[in-house]
Amino acid sequence: MSRRKKLLIFGGGAVAVAALIALNAAGRRDRGESVRIAAVERRNLVATVTASGQIEPQRSVDISADITGRIIQILVQEGDFVKRGDLVLRIEPSQYEAQVAQARALLSSAEASALQSRANRDQAKRAWDRAQELRRQSPNLVSDEQLEQSQTSFEVAEAVYTSAQYQVAQSRAALQNAQELLAKTVLRAPMDGEVTRLAKEEGEVAVPGTFSPETGLLMTISDLSVIQVAVRVDETDVVRLHLADSAEVTIDAFPDTTFTGRVTKISKSAVQGVAAQAGATNQAVDYDVEVTLDDPPSEIRPDLSATAKIITATRDSVLSIPIIALTVREHEAISTETAPQDTTKSKKETEGVFVAVAGIAQFRPVKVGIAGEEYFEVIDGLAEGDSIVAGPYQTIRDLRDDTRLRPVKETTTERP
């Protein structure tokens, strides 16, 4: 067979295949686009905001040392319950006892010097008084120079005594400071609660946590009578939250139990992350939210992972549509701002659904309200019983007005 004949046969086959494909596509168009049809119905809807976080006690205190010293005794263990004022830890006191002894000796020396200077002042006062008395009795007995020297000696003695008094006060303050430092070698519980963290062991050195709280941390005492879930909520959702909103909380450590709670705190400012501090502007913005549990389990511990589903709104028996059915299309809007006879048409993107009218898709603008887990509340644009296109998702994205529809059996609800 010649090459030309082979090419003619091959070309004819290709044309036939293309014709079959075109006929098949045309047949599908004639049959209509395969879609799921759903009726607009009334349902009870619950709008929620879900966020993850950690379990935290409502009140906890991190205990750090105010002085530097070696830990010689820890009197509690993790899980122990303590009362306010209970002794929990001791730091080696010998260095601070020596400082107290030194300060006490300096105070005694200053007090002795003050007594001596007072005696000198009293003596100088008596000498000046005698000189003044003799001068009154006989001006020739005491010269002006002697009188001035007596007065100067008294004034100097008076100043020295005043200085000695200030020295006594300074030494007394130094002793008080040394005693306070010594007292800080004994640490007591600042509140009733449970020891939830021990960060140091006996023999380690305790340092002040002024510049590094983690380094200075010795232990944490928490009040576990009130438990909260600390979560971070996105800026698009936080505006829907209100104080006292109810919530359902699941804790990973208790997989078969759902706990109830209420929102007790919504931060007014966003969480400042590392990116924000560096000047980045395209990072996600989150807000801290606290949910207090109504009846926490006795075995609960801080830092457990938890998820809070906060109920922001409820609707009873309202018209609803599947979330997947809502789409956006350019829709003609009539503007009559100038005059009724000068109407102009413009197009803008509008939310809506495709309604099935006699087997044909017709886009209809819809105003929606709250969103449940699977359905939107319908405020305006649809009536109960209207048939709408409810899937598949990709088909709804590409669907156009006046497209013929071919309903198929609905299986499961598809989420975009």
Instruction: Check: CB of residue 77 under 8 Å from CB of residue 219.
Output: no
User: pLDDT at residue 259 above 90?
Assistant: yes
Whether residue 334 sits in one domain with residue 304: no
User: pLDDT at residue 9 above 50?
Assistant: no
User: pLDDT at residue 2 above 60?
Assistant: no
- Whole-angstrom distance, CA of residue 360 vs CA of residue 33: 10
pLDDT band at residue 219 using 50, 70 and 90 as cut-offs: very high
User: pLDDT at residue 260 above 80?
Assistant: yes
pLDDT band at residue 332 using 50, 70 and 90 as cut-offs: low
Residue 9 within a domain: no
User: pLDDT at residue 18 above 50?
Assistant: no
Last residue in a domain, options 134, 165, 184: 184
Across the range 309-338, mean pLDDT stands at 81
CA 392 to chain centre: 39
Bridge partners (DSSP) of residue 27 are none
**Which alpha helices (DSSP H) does 141-284 contain, by range?**
144-183, 213-216, 235-238, 274-277
As a whole number of Å, the CA-based R_g of the chain is 44
Over pLDDT 70: what percentage of the chain? 84
pLDDT band at residue 280 using 50, 70 and 90 as cut-offs: low
Lowest mean pLDDT among 32-36, 51-55, 264-268, 307-311: 32-36
Which CATH number do you get for residue 243? 2.40.30.170
Residue 3 within a domain: no
> CB 321: neighbour CB atoms within 10 A?
24
- Whole-angstrom distance, CA of residue 191 vs CA of residue 214: 21
Whether residue 227 sits in one domain with residue 150: no
- Whole-angstrom distance, CA of residue 116 vs CA of residue 124: 12
Whether residue 310 sits in one domain with residue 229: yes
Instruction: Check: CB of residue 74 under 8 Å from CB of residue 198.
Output: yes
User: pLDDT at residue 336 above 50?
Assistant: no
pLDDT at 175: 96
> CB 171: neighbour CB atoms within 10 A?
21
pTM higher than the cut 0.75 = no
Structure tokens at 97: 């006892």
Over pLDDT 90: what percentage of the chain? 67
Across the range 157-171, mean pLDDT stands at 95
pLDDT in tens, 342-366: 445 556 789 999 999 999 999 999 9
Whether residue 352 sits in one domain with residue 334: yes
- Structural domain count, the chain: 3
Whether residue 350 sits in one domain with residue 296: no
User: pLDDT at residue 93 above 50?
Assistant: yes
Instruction: Check: CB of residue 396 under 8 Å from CB of residue 405.
Output: no
Residue 377 within a domain: yes
pLDDT at 143: 84
User: pLDDT at residue 19 above 70?
Assistant: no
pLDDT at 5: 41
Instruction: Check: CB of residue 326 under 8 Å from CB of residue 354.
Output: no
Whether residue 303 sits in one domain with residue 233: yes
pLDDT at 140: 82
pLDDT band at residue 15 using 50, 70 and 90 as cut-offs: very low
> CB 170: neighbour CB atoms within 10 A?
13
Which CATH number do you get for residue 360? 2.40.420.20
Across the range 116-142, mean pLDDT stands at 89
Across the range 309-328, mean pLDDT stands at 94
Whether residue 329 sits in one domain with residue 381: yes
pLDDT at 272: 74
Whether residue 326 sits in one domain with residue 279: no
- Whole-angstrom distance, CA of residue 84 vs CA of residue 113: 44
- Whole-angstrom distance, CA of residue 376 vs CA of residue 319: 8
Lowest mean pLDDT among 58-67, 167-176, 227-236, 264-273: 264-273
Residues 6+ apart with CB under 8 A from 59: 191, 193, 222, 223, 226
CA angle 290, 294, 298 (to 5 degrees): 105
> Residue 255: is the preceding peptide bond cis (ω within 30°)?
no
Lowest mean pLDDT among 85-94, 198-207, 340-349, 404-413: 340-349
pLDDT at 213: 79
Torsion of CA 37, 40, 41, 45, to 10 degrees: 100
Q: Identify the CA nearest to 392 among candidates 39, 37, 43, 27.
A: 37
* Helix, strand, or coil (residue 240): coil
Residue 356 within a domain: yes
pLDDT at 23: 45
pLDDT at 145: 87
Whether residue 331 sits in one domain with residue 287: no
Question: Which residue would you say has higher pLDDT here, 79 or 27?
Answer: 79
Residue 389 within a domain: yes
> CB 207: neighbour CB atoms within 10 A?
17
Structure tokens at 348: 């803008």
CA 261 to chain centre: 18
CA 211 to chain centre: 22
Three-state DSSP string of 207-224: CECCCCHHHHEEEEEEEE
Q: How many residues does the chain have?
A: 416
Query: Which residue in this structure is represented by tokens 């800080």?
Result: 184
pLDDT at 198: 94
Residue 351 within a domain: yes
Range of the domain at 97: 93-184
Whether residue 246 sits in one domain with residue 309: yes
- CA–CA distances in Å: residue 384 to residues 336, 341, 371, 379: 31, 35, 18, 12
Burial of 362 from C-beta contacts in 10 A (0-12 / 13-18 / 19+): middle
Across the range 325-338, mean pLDDT stands at 67
Residue 71 within a domain: no
Whether residue 245 sits in one domain with residue 170: no
Question: Which residue would you say has higher pLDDT here, 135 or 107?
Answer: 107
Across the range 10-27, mean pLDDT stands at 46
Q: What is the mean pLDDT of the chain?
A: 86
Residue 330 within a domain: yes
